A and B are shown apart, each in its own frame.
Chain A
Amino acid sequence: MTALLSVEGVRVSYGRIEAVRGVDLAVAPGEFVGVIGSNGAGKSSLMRAIAGVLKPAAGRVSFDGAEVTRLKSHQMVAKGLAMVPEGRMVFADQTLRDNLLLGGFSRMRTDRAGVMRDLERVLVLFPRLRERLDQEAGTLSGGEQQMLAIARGLISKPRLLVIDELSLGLAPLILDMLFPVLSSLNREGLSILLVEQMASYALAVTDRTYVMENGRVLFEGRSADLARDPRVLDAYLGRRRAA
């Protein structure tokens, strides 16, 4: 089966600092893939390069069989790749409803009815958002903002949802609610690429996981195997880092 997303030899630099030093990674259609690793491993930089927020210094990104290395983020959304960015980045000065409608920006002209249907669908997924539809997004709690950011990403009707640091700053109670939602979205056919510092959560829900350190992939494997792998146990599960 050809990969939905394939990343080959991608490098990302900020001036003279190289954050990602040649990474290969793939996501098959319908797959739930995790990327774990400590702070500063280059995970977020890699995701930003994949989503078109920044241009890789070298390497190649393909999506759905076509090269997309140089495309910008809004073009990636149109191709079917949506990213929920680190820190959520909801539009704090606009209402929840407007945030969600903006999520459908690229579809709005051609498929307004579809946007409205998907709006209803994400509200079923996250009922807490429905009660707050007319509130400004800035008044939401961190967990609600994360729900909104995911819902906003879903309304673009992506085939691959990239989530950068889902757990950042969120209470375990919220995470216990969010992860099952992702699992059920994945079971319905959505491919997900999840970057997560809380390795135990990521390994529990994903099919396959990449472990990154110092801008490189150290190793990768089935998440169920990695959860018992001594290298992972020592470095990421033994002493769990605070988010």
Chain B
Amino acid sequence: MEAVIQYLLTGLSVGSVYAMMGLGFYVMWSAAKAVNFTYGDIFMLGAVLTVVLMDIGIGLLPAALLAILASAAGAAAIERGFVRPFNREANAIGWMLTTIAVGTMLESSTTALFGSNPRMLPSPLAQEPIRLGGAGIYPQELLLPAALVVVTAALELFYRRTLLGRAMRAVAYNRTAAGLVGIDADRITLIAFALAGVLGALAGVLIGPVVQASSTMGAIIGLKGFMVAIIAGIANARGVVIAGLLYGVTEKFIEGYLSTAARDAIGFTLMVLLLLLFPQGLFGKKEFSKV
């Protein structure tokens, strides 16, 4: 029983990371019908930049905030330089190659500058585990689901209640029509990628104290976030959140009852099977037709 609670709690924690990453892919895909495959590296930058900034004497919270803003600016720059020019035609796929290439460059240059060893991201919430129903967990890990709830609610409010959010939905629904009411769809797409950058970097900062910061921490997480978004049906934000949490919990149970080695093999197999059974995604509505 204690083990079950343990897996559930840590699963929800890591699942929140997948969910936030999945939401980032949702935000990007909605606006551009393209995504940034460096997204795992934006996640990584959130954690790594926080450590670097703390090295030069900045406190945890301001360092985290600056790191998130810088990562978001990086995400926006990637949209401008490596997605937009390669996503001009209706079914363009050039952005896949260019963003994967930039991701690889980001990762290796971070390794060169930051070193290849993982570094601690010190957080007062990751010093002493607390006991919950027999399970031990860092408060930092509980912060993740809480942050996910806040992020999801804020995103929903943004899309429904603000003019910028409505404009983003308009661009997602029909880019031509958005232009015809005076919306600069390119600019909105840039903002969407920056917004996704905030989500990804925030996830990196929050999980950093638990997993340590390193140049390679983002690669597999980015892939899982993308997978979660696809499995959920990428056009459905709530579905993405649920799929992310479920995947996190499933992983921890596989880890617990089988082994860490089995985790990704079984996890990815499950994902492939699910996609075979639900080609539109678990919660997918029909994708809007491309205009």
Whether B176 pairs with A77 at a CB distance below 8 angstroms is: no
Residue in A53, A92, A93 whose beta carbon sits within 8 Å of that of B180 in the complex? A53
B163 touches A89 (CB 8 A): no
In contact, A89 and B180 (Cβ under 8 angstroms): yes
Name the CB-closest residue of A to B166. Answer: A98
Given A98-B166, A102-B167, A105-B163 in contact, is the A91-B174 Cβ separation under 8 Å? yes
Cβ contact within 8 Å between B181 and A156: yes
Smallest Cβ distance from B146 to chain A, in angstroms?
Answer: 30
A85 at the interface (CB under 8 A from B): yes
Contact A94 B185, CB 8 Å, known A72-B179, A73-B180, A89-B177: no
| Cβ-neighbour of B170 out of A53, A77, A102 (below 8 A) | A102
**Interface pair A89/B179, CB less than 8 Å apart:** no
Q: B179 and A92: CB pair below 8 A? A: no
Nearest CB in chain A: distance from B26 CB, A: 15
Given known pairs A51-B180, A102-B181, the reply for A108 and B173 (CB within 8 Å) is no
Residue-by-residue, is B154-189 near A (CB-CB < 8 Å gives 1, otherwise 0)?
000000000100110110011011111111110000
Does A78 belong to the interface (CB within 8 Å)? yes
- Given B163, B169, B180, which contacts A85 in the complex, CB threshold below 8 Å? B180
Bound-state CA distance A72–B187 (Å) is: 13
CA distance A55 to B183 in the complex (A): 18
Nearest neighbor of B177 in chain A, beta-carbon distance:
A89
CB-CB under 8 A from A105, the residues of chain B are 163, 167, 181-183
Considering the complex, give the chain B residue whose CB is closest to the CB of A78. B182
Closest Cβ–Cβ distance, residue A215 to chain B (whole Å): 21
A103 within 8 A of B: yes
Most buried by A among B170, B177, B178, B184: B177
Residues of A within 8 Å of B176, CB to CB, are 53, 73, 85, 89
Q: Which chain A residues (98-118) contact chain B, with CB distance < 8 Å?
A: 98, 101-103, 105-108
Q: Which residues of A contact B178 (CB under 8 A)?
A: 74, 102
Residue contact B179 to A74, C-beta cutoff 8 Å? yes
Answer yes or no: A27 CB below 8 A from chain B CBs: no
Task: Flag if B170 contacts A92 (CB, 8 Å).
Answer: no
How distant is the Cα of A7 from the Cα of B173 in the complex, in angstroms? 31
Let me know if A216 is at the binding interface, CB within 8 A: no
A52 within 8 A of B: yes
CA distance in complex: A156, B178 (Å): 12
> Is A208 engaged at the interface, CB distance under 8 Å to the other chain?
no
Residues of A within 8 A of B185 (CB): 74
Nearest-Cβ distance from residue B177 to partner chain A, whole angstroms = 4
B214 to chain A minimum Cβ distance, whole angstroms, is 41
Complexed CA–CA distance, A73 and B174 (Å)? 13
Task: List the A residue with the shortest CB-CB distance to B186.
Answer: A72
A199 CB–B CB distance under 8 Å: no
Q: Which residue of B lies closest to A93 (CB)?
A: B173
Q: B180 contacts A77, CB within 8 Å?
A: yes
Are B173 and A77 in contact, with the CB atoms below 8 A? no
Q: Which residues of A contact B184 (CB under 8 A)?
A: 72, 74
A72 neighbours in B (Cβ, 8 Å): 179, 184
Q: In the complex, which residues of chain A have a beta carbon less than 8 angstroms from the beta carbon of B179? A: 52-53, 72-74, 77
- Chain B residues positioned under 8 Å from A83 (CB to CB): 180
Give Cα A98–Cα B174 distance, bound, in whole angstroms.
15
Chain B residues lying within 8 Å of A153, measured Cβ to Cβ, are: 180-181
Q: A53-B179, A83-B180, A105-B183 are in contact. Are A91 and B163 (CB under 8 A)?
A: no
Asked, given contacts A89-B176, A91-B174, A93-B173, whether A156 binds B182 with beta carbons under 8 Å apart, the answer is yes
15 more contacts with CB within 8 A, not counting A53-B179, A94-B169, A156-B181, are A74-B182, A74-B184, A82-B181, A83-B180, A89-B174, A89-B180, A90-B177, A91-B169, A91-B177, A92-B173, A101-B163, A102-B163, A105-B163, A106-B183, A107-B182
Binding site for B on A (CB under 8 A): 51-53, 72-74, 77-78, 82-83, 85, 89-94, 98, 101-103, 105-108, 152-153, 156
Q: Which 7 A-B pairs have the closest CB atoms?
A: A106-B182, A77-B182, A73-B179, A89-B177, A105-B182, A74-B184, A74-B179
25 A-B residue pairs with Cβ-Cβ distance under 8 Å, sorted by A, are: A51-B180, A53-B180, A73-B179, A74-B178, A74-B180, A74-B183, A74-B184, A74-B185, A77-B181, A82-B180, A85-B177, A85-B180, A89-B176, A89-B177, A91-B170, A92-B173, A94-B170, A98-B166, A101-B163, A102-B178, A102-B183, A105-B167, A105-B181, A105-B183, A106-B181
